[in-house]
């Protein structure tokens, strides 16, 4: 009985450990080109704190807090192709560069970046607002 209890506790702890292990986003910022025709070419730069056990990166960009009306995409980690509309992905070490294509020009961009590990656990969202 004690053995079973131990196994259950151990399994729970392992599961908890895995779920809680999505790598935090160290930094992220957007660089916008000069707007043309109401659109701006944007590149999101992300700095990861680690590259181990990162399965995907969720990016949301909105014109209002909490919205994703400008851009929403889940980048598979080290995805090499399959993008459209100017979207892209490249990584050098901990630095990830993601062209987001043409975003609608707006006064303020609310961005949220989250990493997902192989178990589907999410990192804390890295949020910033930029202009």
Partner 1 sequence: MKVSLKYTVLFIFLFANFNLFATKYTWTGNSSTAWTTSNNWSPVGVPNTTDSVKIVTRTNAPVLGANTTVKELDLTSGSISLSGYSLTVSNNAYFYAGTISNGTLVLRGSNAIFNGSTLNVTIDAIVARVDFSGGVFNYQSSFEQTGTSTTNGAGGCTFNAPITIKKSGAAYLTMGVSSADIFNSTLKVINTATYAIQLGYNTVASFYDSLIFENSSSSGISIGGGNANGGGHIYNGKKIAIGTGGFTAGLLTLKNFVQTGTGQQTFVTTGSAITSLAGCSFEGDLTITSPGILLKTSTFNGTTEFIRSSTSSSYSDGGNVFNGSTTFRNNATNTASFRLGVQTGDQYNGNVSFITTTGYIQPAYSGTSEFKGNVSMSSSLVVFNVGTGKLLCTGTSNQTFSTSGSLTYLVSKFAVNKSSGTVTFNAPITIDSLLELTSGNIITSSTNLLTLKAVATVSGGSLSSFVTGPIKKIGNTSFKFPVGKGVDYRPVTISAPSILTDAFTAEYFNSAQTNGSTKDTSINYISDCNYWNVTKTTGSSNVALTFNWYKSSCDVFDIDSTKLARWNGTK
Question: Which contiguous run of DSSP H or E holds residue 39?
Answer: strand 39-48
Q: Which part of the chain contacts partner 1 (CB under 8 A), choosing from 10-18, 28-36, 48-56, 91-99?
A: 28-36
Measured from the CB atom, the residue of 39 and 128 that comes closer to partner 1 is 128
According to DSSP, the β-strands at 71-76 and 39-48 are unpaired
Following DSSP, what letter does each residue of 68-116 receive, concatenated?
Answer: -SSEEEEEETT--S---TTB--EEETTEEEEEEEEEEP-S-EEEEEEEE
Strand ranges across the sheet with 25-32: 25-32, 39-48, 95-104, 90-92
| Residue 108 in contact with partner 1, rule: CB under 8 A | yes
16 sits near partner 1 (criterion: CB under 8 A):
no
Q: Applying CB under 8 A, which of residues 80, 85, 92, 131 lies at the interface with partner 1?
A: 131
Tell me whether residue 83 or residue 94 sits nearer to partner 1 (CB atom).
Answer: 94
21, 27, 69, 119: which one contacts partner 1 (CB under 8 A)?
27
The yes or no reply on residue 30 touching partner 1 (CB under 8 A) is yes
Which position has the token pair 């400008």? 70
Q: Does 39 bind partner 1 (CB under 8 A)?
A: no
Rg (CA), the chain: 18
Residue ranges in contact with partner 1 by CB under 8 A: 27, 29-32, 64-66, 107-108, 127-131
């Amino acid at each position: 009985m004690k053995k079973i209890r131990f196994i259950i506790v151990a399994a729970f702890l392992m599961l908890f450990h895995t779920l809680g292990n999505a790598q935090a986003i160290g930094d992220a910022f957007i660089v916008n080109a000069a707007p043309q025709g109401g659109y701006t070419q944007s590149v999101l730069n992300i700095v990861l704190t680690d590259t181990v056990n990162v399965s995907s990166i969720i990016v949301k960009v909105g014109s209002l807090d909490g919205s994703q009306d400008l851009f929403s995409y889940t980048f598979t980690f080290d995805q090499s192709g399959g993008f459209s509309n100017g979207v892209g992905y490249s990584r050098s070490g901990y630095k990830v560069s993601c062209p987001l294509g043409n975003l609608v020009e707006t006064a303020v961009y609310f961005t949220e970046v989250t990493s997902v590990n192989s178990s589907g656990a999410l990192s804390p969202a890295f949020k910033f607002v930029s202009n």
